[in-house]
Structure 1
Amino acid sequence: MKAQRAAGTIEALYDEAQELYLADNRPWVLGFSGGKDSTCTLQVIWTAISRLPVEQRQKPVYVISSDTLVETPVIVNYIDETLARINQAALDQGLPFRTHKVVPRVDRSFWVNMIGRGYPAPSRRFRWCTERLKIEPANEFILDRVAEFGEVIMVLGVRSAESATRAQVMSFHRIKGSRLSNHSSLNNAFVYSPIEAFSTDAVWGYLLQNASPWGNDNRDLVAMYRNAQSGECPLVVDTTTPSCGNSRFGCWVCTVVTKDKAMEAMIDSGQDWMTPLLEYRDMLASTQDPVRKRQVRDYRRRTGQVSFKADSDDIIPGPYTLDFCRELLTKLLQAQKEVQRESPPGETPLLIHEEELHAIRRIWRQERGDWQDSVPGIVRAELGDIVNWITDDAVTYSHADGELLQNICHENGVPVELVARLLDIERSTHGMKRRHAVHSRIEDVLAEDWRSREDVIAERREMLAGTGVAYGADEGVSAC
């Protein structure tokens, strides 16, 4: 009797999906992460639409998958193979499914922000990665479809059983008298959550009792979860989506959680070639330790100003120093060499892309005073001559020039970075007939705080003493 009720519920869900699909011309955008919930959702929608007459299967269903470019290599391969099967099966079966992988723009990628600009490893207090790596790429695709069609319907594998907060958010945005909800942040985008009432057991029950229509084996998915001992990372389209820091289907560099139990479980289950990834991730996590922060992060913010905790002489640290960023790049390339050497046959995991290396080089040269042009040298030392570096035709400074500048600045008590930044402004406008905004750029640099860390703290303590506020020793620093 229970099985009959469950079957009846599924049939009703198919009918509901068909009714919504045929109700209007708004295209559907289905978020697919490769995990159990999104796989179950896609199977439900696939089955419902496949039961319609061929002439009624006209409205496109875009299946989008988000690749942050720092996904666990095993998952990248699994997703790529699955998307290829979905495309081929849709073509063979005459179904309107089209797959798309969305990725962050190069200048917004994880490595360009962390190694290039010096953003610290993400934490619960400063989770800068989600917006740039997940929300923006997915929303750009959705907005492109909105511009093309006027409105779209997002089909998501979210479930109210995930958490009380998630259930409350889903209820809040629900359109009265409809199975659709308003998107939390995008106008003209609506959300359909076909499996929102499913429990975890119901999801697995459906997947194991219904074969994948595009040729995957859902038992492999069960094995992946069992090996990782963890959950999935859904397609993130807004800030209400829960964190996937503990997740099997998340980023291998995630430092939002203290320990990556999923990665550890994967290595324990036989994927020991991924050990360098875990070691690198743990190294990033260690930089969140208060003592370590002081060693690897600048005492000034990216604005060039110094910030303190309220009523304290504890400096709020800024970005990673350029020296530490050089170390991060070196160790990342070493990890890439090791995982490529030890990975299973046919797999060549790429941890950082060539476009990202060019972007990091540009930022170091133009924004961080890297006169020695470190990136090409680091890449050659670790990987050989595999990158065709662009020659800078403008006035350039050599490593010897940098050493000379350091000596002169040291003799005259002038910050090296200050003079380097001013010279870089001059270099960037060299040969121009109209040196537009050069004076304002110089003023901005001079307005930054160029005092030493010790001088800044001394002034702060003097100010606090004048106000009668007690302060402690400058031992720890807070997260950004």
Structure 2
Amino acid sequence: MMSNPDLQARTKNATLDLAALLEHIRAVYLADERPWVIGYSGGKDSTCALQLIWSAVKALPIQERTKPIFVLSSDTLVETPVIVNYIDETLAAINTAAKEQNMPISAQKVVPEISDSFWVNLIGRGYPAPSKRFRWCTERLKIDPANAFIKNRVAEFGEVVMVLGVRSAESATRAQVMSLHKIDGTALSRHSTLPGAFVFTPIEAFSVDDVWAFLLQNESPWGSDNRDLLAMYRNAQAGECPLVVDKQTESCGNSRFGCWVCTVVTKDKAMEAMIENGEDWLEPLLDLRDELAETQNPERKREFRDFKRRDGSVTFVGEAETSIPGPYLFDYRKELLGKLLKAQEQVNAKAPPGEKTVLIQDEELREIRRIWRSEQGDWNDAVSETVKNVTGRVLPLEGADSYEFQANDAKILAEVCDKYDLPPRLMAQLLEAERSVRGLKRRTLIHRKIAAILGQEWRDETTVLDERKQRLAMQRQDSPSNPLFEKET
């Protein structure tokens, strides 16, 4: 078997010994019984890696093609629609071609749990748009779904080999990460976080020129046209987002194909380039993405975000007189939902044939509805109303029980709370806590739920901040550095 240094030497400076590389891949494939999981993002690097492996394994006698190869694609549910449609078509073509060619290859997508999805967290729970300091999305949308699939294969087979189309030339950080867990004498590395998982990077030493040279000089074994891929890159002026399976792997940024909602970067250059090159039907997505990015503007955060945290607490840093911003305000979340549904309508009205897209799933809408009703006391059912007003359709509801509160109940509750000067949301949460344990034999949890609800800050922002200013003023007055303090003592 060719060692990794040998492989690097043979592929250096865009001089590929393709025959030796294919032989190397076959040797690694036949070396053990560990099944392979190939990370496939639809971009140039993962396409190159998959096409090389397909060609190498296909050259083996059918009786030696026994080890399963799983092609795994991660769909965050907020990928650029053009890429989603391209990957869906490609995965279907891979499965068809694999069956026709007697290849041990199967392709599938993984998606995040609905409760972890982008819109459920951002619109439902009010998480602010991701930033470099709070990039809450990568683990939920990418790492966890891919790792769940890998763990299931480890449980089934004992060990697996992750095949990733990553290149050390892509960045110094990636090169360093790739070298950390190398196993001497083999082509494999230990996975940084998953026991029983190993990593194989067949195009590690490739340059960008190597990748495109291979793709344009070798036909896709599953029937795709790699020139279409090149055209897509030219239109977007983009790189690709790799399958992310650990926190050490760099996620997307700059002008990469990836999530159209990404606000980690200042501008979505890939989306802008696609629109400039004729994909103007994507403009509503770019507008909404830019609005989310504007909510990160330090001068405007207070317009969009609550003064309390999600747990109802108010947090200050040092002697600051204003609190750390919490989740998006409920009214703004309702506004965002309407804008998202409107963008979906606009995109699909102008989309080319075959490019229709769903920006938010019904399952996500139902989960947002559940969160709003239980956490915000939204008995008026703003989700269903917004869906109906924007799209003209009725949101299908599943499992709605007979104890749900309705709009008339909200009106009565508001009148009672106004009479006794109580926050309607406080009483709504207490009633929801009681409703949630109704019918249970053991109701011990109700006491914890009531304590957590009553422990939240229910006063208005002005009252809380005025109290904070008074407390800080008293502390300064009593400080040993205060001349009055020294005189009195």
TM over 0.5: yes
Counterpart-to-counterpart distance in 1, 2:460 and 2:349: 45
Number of the residue aligned with 1:89? 97
Q: CA deviation at 1:411?
A: 4.4
SS in 2 for 1:62: strand
Number of the residue aligned with 1:33? 41
Q: CA deviation at 1:376?
A: 1.1
Aligned mate of 1:156, from 142, 153, 164: 164
Q: CA deviation at 1:297?
A: 1.3
Alignment of 1:298-337 (within 5 A): 298-337=306-345
SS in 1 for 2:341: helix
8 Å contact from structure 2 (residues 14, 206) kept in 1: no
8 Å contact from structure 1 (residues 225, 248) kept in 2: no
Q: Deviations for 1:288-325, whole angstroms, at most 9, x for unmatched residues?
A: 12243212211111111111223322311111122111
SS in 1 for 2:73: strand
Number of the residue aligned with 2:264? 256
Number of the residue aligned with 1:342? 350
Counterpart-to-counterpart distance in 2, 1:161 and 1:458: 55
Counterpart-to-counterpart distance in 1, 2:439 and 2:41: 50
Number of the residue aligned with 2:484? none
Alignment of 1:426-441 (within 5 A): 426-430=434-438, 432=440, 434-441=442-449
Number of the residue aligned with 2:241? 233
8 Å contact from structure 2 (residues 341, 391) kept in 1: yes
**2:226 is equivalent to residue 218 of structure 1:** yes
Number of the residue aligned with 1:49? 57
Q: CA deviation at 1:384?
A: 2.1
Q: Tell me whether 174-183 or 406-415 shows the greater mean CA deviation.
A: 406-415
Number of the residue aligned with 1:185? 193
Q: 1:311 to 1:11 in 2, by over 3 A?
A: farther
RMSD: 2.0
Number of the residue aligned with 1:405? 413
Number of the residue aligned with 1:478? none
Number of the residue aligned with 2:137? 129
**2:297 is equivalent to residue 289 of structure 1:** yes
Residue 33 of structure 2 aligns with an amino acid whose one-letter code is N
Q: Deviations for 1:209-231, whole angstroms, at most 9, x for unmatched residues?
A: 21211111111111111110121
Q: CA deviation at 1:132?
A: 0.5
Q: Deviations for 1:255-275, whole angstroms, at most 9, x for unmatched residues?
A: 111111110110110000111
Number of the residue aligned with 1:477? none
Q: Tell me whether 257-266 or 245-254 shows the greater mean CA deviation.
A: 245-254
Q: CA deviation at 1:401?
A: 3.3
Q: Deviations for 1:178-201, whole angstroms, at most 9, x for unmatched residues?
A: 211111110010000011111111
8 Å contact from structure 2 (residues 73, 243) kept in 1: yes
Number of the residue aligned with 1:17? 25
Indicate the percent of aligned positions where both proteins have the same amino acid. Answer: 59
Residue 429 of structure 1 aligns with an amino acid whose one-letter code is V
8 Å contact from structure 2 (residues 255, 270) kept in 1: yes
Q: Deviations for 1:275-294, whole angstroms, at most 9, x for unmatched residues?
A: 11111111111111224321
8 Å contact from structure 1 (residues 27, 149) kept in 2: yes
Counterpart-to-counterpart distance in 2, 1:61 and 1:416: 56
Number of the residue aligned with 2:122? 114
Alignment of 1:357-368 (within 5 A): 357-368=365-376
Q: 1:202 to 1:456 in 2, by over 3 A?
A: same
Residue 135 of structure 2 aligns with an amino acid whose one-letter code is R
**2:282 is equivalent to residue 271 of structure 1:** no
Q: Tell me whether 125-134 or 408-417 shows the greater mean CA deviation.
A: 408-417
8 Å contact from structure 2 (residues 14, 210) kept in 1: no
- The count of aligned residue pairs is 468
8 Å contact from structure 1 (residues 120, 320) kept in 2: yes
Aligned mate of 2:362, from 320, 334, 354: 354
Compute the TM-score of the two structures, normalised by the length of structure 2. Answer: 0.91
8 Å contact from structure 2 (residues 14, 209) kept in 1: no
Q: CA deviation at 1:346?
A: 3.0
Counterpart-to-counterpart distance in 1, 2:15 and 2:251: 33
Residue 106 of structure 1 aligns with an amino acid whose one-letter code is I
Which 5+ residue runs of structure 2 have no aligned equivalent?
1-9, 478-489
Number of the residue aligned with 2:485? none
SS in 2 for 1:307: coil
8 Å contact from structure 1 (residues 247, 262) kept in 2: yes
Counterpart-to-counterpart distance in 1, 2:301 and 2:328: 9
8 Å contact from structure 2 (residues 433, 449) kept in 1: yes
8 Å contact from structure 1 (residues 395, 430) kept in 2: no
Q: Tell me whether 419-428 or 319-328 shows the greater mean CA deviation.
A: 419-428
Number of the residue aligned with 2:388? 380
Q: CA deviation at 1:360?
A: 1.0
Number of the residue aligned with 2:428? 420
Q: CA deviation at 1:406?
A: 3.0
Residue 35 of structure 2 aligns with an amino acid whose one-letter code is P
Residue 98 of structure 1 aligns with an amino acid whose one-letter code is S
Q: CA deviation at 1:63?
A: 0.4
Residue 189 of structure 2 aligns with an amino acid whose one-letter code is S
SS in 2 for 1:311: coil
Number of the residue aligned with 1:474? none
